[in-house]
Every structure is written in structure tokens, then in C-alpha cells.
């Protein structure tokens, strides 16, 4: 046997090969004999030599050709010299830590929102208040992830931030690595959610009547102070609504994250990636339902928060205008 690729035992869930003898098999006796060999001492020695282990067969598996067992006898793949315990449930079978996936999703989404706050406010204000050369190009760059497939966005980020990329090499000099790290998951979620962030903040600034700024300027208040004391407080609920919307989008990010950050248990496996891993693993569908429910609840809470904050900004502007 020639080993083409060695996979560390903790890096991926074990592969399960199911072996069974059909009742109508033409050579049922030979098949049953082979299954019996797999679970014998001699067969176990051969399997363990190449990194496999055989689970105990169900009753009747080696009874002979007359009554071959319809139940499967699993043979599990592994790494030579590293036996693994048999799975005991959906989580153990798939190797997915559900609690870790939820925590990572919240951490990634929150970090993406916080890191994107200042750039989103700056870009949103520029689009709402200024005309400048290159505005169209900047708009295409900012809104591009909104229309591009997330996998394509992840690929482009990998090309830019990979070790051989435009910025990845420079970051590596300072010991910063983005691909296949938690930072990569944050960057992917932040980039994909950034267009929604900017669009919401832009709308918040556009809703603030420019005459309030002009009155402040005529009273001798500098533009910077006018922004922090007049414009920003009025737009704050809209900015918060954009943050909530970007947070909800980051929670559901999959394509860009799996390309840039991978699907690494405990490091980059968020809820969306965990659901995918569970659906691909034997017996993981039941555990996936819990994560799907958690994802739906968190996303709906985000949308409810967005609507509440948007209404609050409208009421604040109406009240301010009435005064």
C-alpha cells in the first residue's frame, strides 16, 4: 500500500466504510467469510498496519451464507499508529464541537463589525456628502462583494492576502498570517458584510438634513465638531442598525470563509461551516438541526434589532426637525 496523503487524526473526522452482505448476494458465503476475517485477530493486524480499525460486527454477521446479516459492519479509516475511539453520537461521529461553532461565530461576527466600524462610517459619509474623483471605482470596490459569489470573494481575498499575494508577503514579514486562521475568518466575514454596513450608514447620513450642518457652520462651529456634535448623534441609530445588519450577515457567512480561512475545528469552523460538516458526516443531521435553529434565531434577532434601530432614527429625525 502506498500512502499518498497523510491526514492527522484530529484534523478531520474518521472515514467510515460500511460493509454488509446482501441477502441476495451470489457469493454470500465468501462475503460473510471476508467480513469474519476483517474482525479476526489476523484481519485486525492487517488493518491496523495501514491505519484502519474494524468495529465489532453485529450478531449474525459471520453466521454463514444462509443468513447473511443485513446490518453493516463499519470499517473506519485513520492514521497508522493512531487508533481512535468509536463514535458515540452525532457530535462525536462528525468531530464537530457545537458550542465552539456558536462561540466562534459570535466572536468572528463581533470582531468583523468592530473592525469595520470606522471604515464603514468614513466611506458611508463620503458617499452621502461628497463628490470626488474615483467615486465610481470606490463604489464598485465596496459593493462588489454584495454581487459576487462569496466563493469568488474568498478566492480574491486569498490571492491578495495569501503568502504569495499582493499583501500576504508583506504581512508575513511581520509574522501576520491571514489564510486558514481566525483572522482570516474575521476578514472574510467583514468583507462580505461591509457593503451592507456602508449602505445602511450612507442612508443614515443622507437622512440627516444638510441644513443642520450649515446652521452649525454659520454659528462658527468647525466642520469636525459639527460632525461629532450634530451629524453623528442624529445618524447614530442608523449606524447601529448597519452594525446589526453586518453582524447578522457575518453570522451566516460560508463561501468566502471556507476559501480563505478553511474549515478547521475550534479555529475557523463557524455555525455555517459546522452545519456543512455535520451534513457531510454520518449521523450528523440531527446535530445540524440544533445549529440551524441557533443560526435562525440569531439572524432573526439581528433583523429585529435592525428594524427597531431604523425606526428609532426616523423618530429622532422627525422630532429634531419639529423642534
- Ordered by start, the domain boundaries in the chain are 16-86, 95-322
Give the span between the Cα atoms of 252 and 257, in whole angstroms. 10
Q: Record the cell numbers describing residue 198, joined without a space.
A: 456602508
Determine the average pLDDT of the residues in 23-37: 76
pLDDT of residue 14: 60
Q: Where are the beta strands (DSSP E) in 104-252?
A: none
Return the C-alpha cell found at 209.
Answer: 438634513
207-211, 276-280, 312-316: segment of lowest average pLDDT = 312-316
Rounded to 5 degrees, what are φ and ψ at 73? Answer: -115, 110
Strand partners, 104: none
Give the pLDDT confidence score for residue 64 in this predicted structure. 42
Task: Specify the higher pLDDT residue, 116 or 78.
Answer: 116
Q: How confident is the model at residue 89 (pLDDT cuts 50, 70, 90)?
A: very low
Record: fold of 95-322: MetI-like fold (1.10.3720)
Q: Given phi > 0 = left and psi -120 to 50 = alpha, else beta, which region is 73?
A: beta
List CB contacts of 44: < 8 A, sequence separation 6 or more.
Answer: 38, 53, 54
Answer with the residue of higher pLDDT: 51 or 106: 106
Question: What is this structure's pTM?
Answer: 0.66
Distance between CA atoms of residues 277 and 94, nearest Å: 7
- Distance (Å, rounded) from C-alpha 224 to C-alpha 49? 72
Amino acid at each position: 500500500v502506498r500512502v499518498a496523503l497523510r491526514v492527522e487524526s484530529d484534523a478531520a473526522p474518521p472515514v467510515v466504510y460500511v460493509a454488509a452482505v446482501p441477502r441476495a448476494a451470489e457469493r454470500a458465503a465468501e462475503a460473510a467469510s471476508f467480513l469474519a476475517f476483517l474482525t479476526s485477530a489476523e484481519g485486525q493486524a492487517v488493518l491496523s498496519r495501514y491505519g484502519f480499525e474494524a468495529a465489532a460486527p453485529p450478531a449474525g454477521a459471520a453466521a454463514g451464507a444462509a443468513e447473511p446479516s443485513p446490518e453493516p459492519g463499519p470499517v473506519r479509516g485513520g492514521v497508522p499508529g493512531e487508533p481512535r475511539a468509536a463514535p458515540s453520537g452525532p457530535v462525536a461521529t462528525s468531530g464537530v464541537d457545537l458550542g465552539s461553532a456558536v462561540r466562534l461565530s459570535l466572536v468572528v461576527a463581533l470582531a468583523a463589525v468592530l473592525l469595520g466600524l470606522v471604515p464603514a462610517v468614513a466611506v458611508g459619509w463620503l458617499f452621502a456628502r461628497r463628490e470626488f474623483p474615483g467615486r465610481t471605482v470606490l463604489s464598485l470596490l465596496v459593493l462588489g462583494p454584495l454581487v459576487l459569489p462569496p466563493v469568488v470573494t474568498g478566492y480574491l481575498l486569498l490571492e491578495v492576502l495569501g503568502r504569495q499575494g499582493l499583501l500576504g508577503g508583506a504581512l508575513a514579514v511581520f509574522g501576520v498570517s491571514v489564510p486558514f486562521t481566525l483572522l482570516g475568518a474575521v476578514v472574510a466575514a467583514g468583507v462580505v458584510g461591509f457593503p451592507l454596513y456602508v449602505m445602511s450608514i450612507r442612508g443614515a447620513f443622507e437622512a440627516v438634513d444638510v441644513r443642520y450642518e450649515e446652521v452649525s457652520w454659520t454659528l462658527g462651529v468647525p466642520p469636525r465638531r459639527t460632525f461629532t456634535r450634530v451629524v453623528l448623534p442624529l445618524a447614530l441609530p442608523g449606524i447601529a442598525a448597519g452594525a446589526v445588519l453586518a453582524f447578522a450577515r457575518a453570522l451566516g457567512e460560508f463561501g468566502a470563509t471556507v476559501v480563505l480561512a478553511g474549515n478547521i475545528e475550534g479555529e475557523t469552523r463557524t455555525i455555517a461551516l459546522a452545519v456543512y460538516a455535520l451534513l457531510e458526516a454520518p449521523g450528523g443531521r440531527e446535530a445540524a438541526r440544533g445549529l440551524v435553529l441557533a443560526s435562525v434565531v440569531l439572524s432573526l434577532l439581528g433583523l429585529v434589532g435592525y428594524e427597531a434601530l431604523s425606526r428609532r432614527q426616523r423618530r429622532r429625525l422627525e422630532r429634531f426637525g419639529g423642534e
